[in-house]
């Protein structure tokens, strides 16, 4: 069971020598990327959840931007989801997630950069639901781009027959789109509109790392609604 999010006034939990610490927020899609890598590689670690609207005073000492994810190990601190994930992949090379081929690595970086367009559409959907028609039109173009890429790569993953880092980078945002899609089928991915993307989503759901880090739709929607109304219920679902 995850721990509640530490807020302003909370003391920094004592660090343990030689133990990886992941500063996270339970519903953050960027921190979820790191959680996926940690789970996929079975890397021993501890997690400290932090409240991003009422931040502990020590958070900016770890990351001047005051965001998560942050990785800390003894005297080493790394932040930003891709930097943390790729560091872990290099230091723990079993179940390697980054492609060795420079061209494929560059192509994956392009896919990641393009993901920013989907992120912008998602936050428009979250904060301006009245713009669903325009968002759905934009998403159709973006989903088609990823659908065509999967066709070229053969699937079921963007990494081919096995998941790659890019799959774990993309999953958290698509998980949120699918949750929202239960409310509006115009943005829901299934075999009738994007068969390769639907196959990709189903393949990811079979992975232990995805199962260990996913959030059920009801809980995820509750949190996203709390973001939209400004209450930010970070501890929802945590006893």
pLDDT tens-place string over residues 9-18: 999 999 999 9
**Whole-Å CA distances, 25 to 3, 28, 69, 94:** 10, 5, 8, 26
Interior/surface letters 22-42, b for 16+ CB within 10 angstroms, e for the rest:
bbbbbbbbbbbbbbbbbbbbe
pTM strictly above 0.95:
yes
Local confidence band at 154 (pLDDT 50, 70, 90 cut-offs): very high
Q: Is 223 within a domain?
A: no
Query: Are residues 172 and 137 part of one domain?
Result: yes
Residues facing residue 70 across a β-bridge: 23, 79
Query: Are residues 159 and 71 part of one domain?
Result: no
Query: Are residues 115 and 84 part of one domain?
Result: no
Query: Are residues 119 and 199 part of one domain?
Result: yes
Q: Is 218 within a domain?
A: no
DSSP annotation string for 144-209? HHHHHHHHHH-SSBTTBSS--HHHHHHHHHHHHHHHHHTT-GGG---TTT-HHHHHHHHHHHTSHH
Query: What is the C-alpha end-to-end distance of the chain, expressed in Å?
Result: 8
Query: Are residues 110 and 84 part of one domain?
Result: no
Least confident of 56-65, 130-139, 160-169, 189-198: 130-139
Residue 50 annotated in active site: no
pLDDT score at 239 = 78
Report the CATH number at residue 49: 3.40.30.10
Query: Are residues 45 and 113 part of one domain?
Result: no
Catalytic one among 6, 25, 28, 139?
A: 28
Residues facing residue 50 across a β-bridge: 6
d(CA 232, CA 216): 17
Q: Which residue, among 165, 64, 156, has the nearest Cα to 108 in the 3D structure?
A: 165
Give the domain extent around 110.
Answer: 102-206
């Amino acid at each position: 069971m995850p721990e509640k999010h530490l807020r302003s006034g909370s003391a920094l939990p004592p660090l343990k020598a030689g133990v990886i610490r992941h500063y996270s927020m339970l519903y953050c899609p960027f921190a979820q990327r790191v959680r996926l890598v940690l789970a996929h590689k079975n890397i021993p670690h501890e997690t400290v959840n932090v409240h991003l609207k009422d931040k502990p005073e020590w958070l900016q000492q770890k990351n001047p931007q005051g965001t998560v994810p942050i990785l800390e190990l003894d005297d080493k601190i790394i932040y930003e989801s891709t930097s943390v994930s790729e560091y872990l992949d290099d230091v723990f090379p079993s179940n390697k997630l980054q492609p060795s081929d420079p061209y494929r690595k560059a192509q994956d970086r392009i896919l990641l950069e393009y993901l920013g367009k989907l992120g912008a559409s998602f936050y428009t959907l979250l904060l301006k639901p009245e713009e669903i028609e325009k968002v759905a039109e934009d998403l159709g173009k973006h989903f088609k781009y990823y659908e065509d890429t999967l066709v070229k790569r053969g699937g079921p993953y963007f990494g081919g027959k096995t998941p790659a880092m890019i799959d774990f980078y993309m999953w958290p945002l698509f998980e949120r789109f699918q949750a929202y899609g239960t409310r509006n089928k115009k943005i829901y991915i299934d075999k009738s509109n994007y068969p390769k993307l639907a196959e990709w989503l189903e393949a990811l759901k079979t992975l232990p790392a995805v199962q260990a880090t996913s959030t059920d739709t009801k809980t995820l929607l509750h949190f996203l609604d709390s973001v939209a109304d400004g209450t930010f219920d970070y501890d929802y679902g945590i006893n």
